[in-house]
A and B are shown apart, each in its own frame.
Chain A
Amino acid sequence: GAVVSQHPSRVICKSGTSVKIECRSLDFQATTMFWYRQFPKQSLMLMATSNEGSKATYEQGVEKDKFLINHASLTLSTLTVTSAHPEDSSFYICSARGGRTTETQYFGPGTRLLVL
């Protein structure tokens, strides 16, 4: 299967700071990348869809000014959590779509964010 990486894998920050998470497709060009959030013992919640070179599409209830998404190339998308607060603490996972099987999404390993 296709390989997707995320960095960092874990981050602890103080309330009010901004955190940037990178998502890279390593062996294929990702036409679309997705950002999910998962709270403990809950299922994945899609936050936004990003297509290379265009603005991200956010799901209802997700603040686009708080969760900034940039998809500057076919292999890199970034999620910036601005002015993070403790309630933003969660497991953030990206996925990438593209490659040989264009419908399938391949997930990155996730980034665990803890805001103190």
Chain B
Amino acid sequence: QKEVEQNSGPLSVPEGAIASLNCTYSDRGSQSFFWYRQYSGKSPELIMSIYSNGDKEDGRFTAQLNKASQYVSLLIRDSQPSDSATYLCAKGEAAGNKLTFGGGTRVLVKP
């Protein structure tokens, strides 16, 4: 079992709709989680971090964390074609301060 799992997609979403991305992790002790967006040929850029159970909102993005069920999700409201990218879920590792990434979910927002 991979440490961080994501559906590779592509997740096709009509413009204006909500895109829902899920990520599960295997280490119950994980405390910090991150969502990054990566456009084709570019490096990842941070969308948001989340540390506590519940929802965290930033603009059109909402991250949700459920430690009991070991999943973290990302909602993108009012999806735009410019949101078309690969979204990477990552969890922080206390030892070595590393991030462990999932394989990413490719999102396609169609006009």
Contacts and interface: CB of A to CB of B under 8 A. Distances in A.
B92 A103 contact: yes
Range class of the B interface residue count: 10 to 19
Given A42-B103, A108-B43, 11 more contacts: A1-B46, A43-B101, A44-B101, A46-B98, A49-B97, A93-B44, A104-B34, A105-B46, A107-B36, A109-B42, A109-B43
A105 B43 contact: no
Contact of A103 (B96, B97, B102, B103): B97
Interface of B: 32, 34, 36, 42-46, 49, 88, 92, 96-99, 101-104
A101 B49 CA distance: 10
Contacts of B45: 1, 107
Range class of the A interface residue count: 20 to 34
Contacts of B99: 34, 46, 105
B106 to A, nearest CB: 10
Contacts of B88: 43-44
Interface of A: 1, 32, 34, 42-44, 46, 49, 57, 93, 97, 101, 103-110
B102 A49 contact: no
A94 B96 CA distance: 16
Contacts of A44: 44, 88, 101
Contacts of B49: 101, 103-104
A9 to B, nearest CB: 10
